[in-house]
Structure 1
Amino acid sequence: MADRNDPPRPGEERLGHDPAAQVDAGVTFIGRLRSGWARGTAPRNLTQARASGEGAARIELAAPYRRGLAGLEPGQCIWVLYWMDQSRRDLIVQAPRHGSGPRGTFALRSPARPNPVAMAAVRITDLDPEAGVIGIDAIDAFDGTPVIDIKPWLDGIDIPPGAAPAP
């Protein structure tokens, strides 16, 4: 991942402002992701994290949010929304290394975006509600990445029309 101070690559375009300087609403970090990943070692996506065999991770919730785990169970799939706090936020057109040319930020899953919100569909491997720890099968985020929300995966809602249900 590029450092937020790196100059844009050929074909990339910056916004005319820094989105971090504009606050329209507040976001509360409810916990942190724990993983073995850091800058330079993290996989590009969740598929690579799972394939590496080193992707096992956990979510550590802050104490006030632990009661929100009631009803979750090991084996269940959840959505984790997290804030890619080390990402640049000023690119509106990007030139991904793996792509065929520049594309708009909203056509990519890149962490570089005006609001660096990422999401991952993961499976709960173990759960300790009292400690606020959720073991998950994998994550592609750096250790310490802030978590902003957790939602259950619901087959009837989270599958686009015509797609196969989750295993």
Structure 2
Amino acid sequence: MDLKPVGVVKSPFKTHSDAPRQGRFSDAVSEIVIFDEYADGLYKIENFRYLIVLYWMDRASRDKLRVIPPGENEERGVFTTRSPSRPNPIGLCVVEVLEVEKNRLKVRWLDALDKSPVIDIKVY
């Protein structure tokens, strides 16, 4: 499997404790910068209000298979949670597009940490 980042996140969230549990719990504005070689993939993206952003949670633990979710007392398998700790730490957020300028998207509801690699963007 060959996975290449298509861009990077510029976010106010620098650490896990800064980030909301889910993007919709924060109105913070983030920016997604798409690398020049993939910028043409944004053609007509301004026609869509909501996007699905897939990103790599590069600072997450990859060796945990069980976690205790927030507000719970018992362990669960990571595949039954939204925990960033998982074998393949892929993050997924539905975001609202606020502004598009060339290869930059200003969005709301993205819970990714600053400098997280963007794997893909899809319309919602």
Report the TM range for the smaller structure's normalisation. over 0.9
What is the deviation of 1:100? 3.3
1:32 aligns with: 8
2:48 paired with 1:48: no
Deviates more, 1:106-115 or 1:91-100: 91-100
Match of 1:134 among 105, 115, 122: 105
Higher strand share: 2
What is the deviation of 1:141? 1.5
| Residues 64-101 of structure 1: CA deviation (Å, up to 9, x unaligned) | 00000012116611100000000001111112242231
Larger radius of gyration: 1
TM-score (norm 1): 0.70
Aligned residue for 2:45, secondary structure, equals coil
Q: Is the 8 A contact 1:74 1:126 kept in 2?
A: no
TM-score (norm 2): 0.92
Q: Is the 8 A contact 1:31 1:146 kept in 2?
A: yes
2:60 aligns with: 87
**Structure 1 letter corresponding to 2:66:** V
Identity of aligned residues (%): 32
Name the structure, 1 or 2, with higher relative contact order (CA <8 Å, separation 6+).
Answer: 2
1:149 aligns with: 120
Aligned residue for 1:148, secondary structure, equals strand
CA RMSD of aligned residues (A): 1.3
What is the deviation of 1:34? 0.8
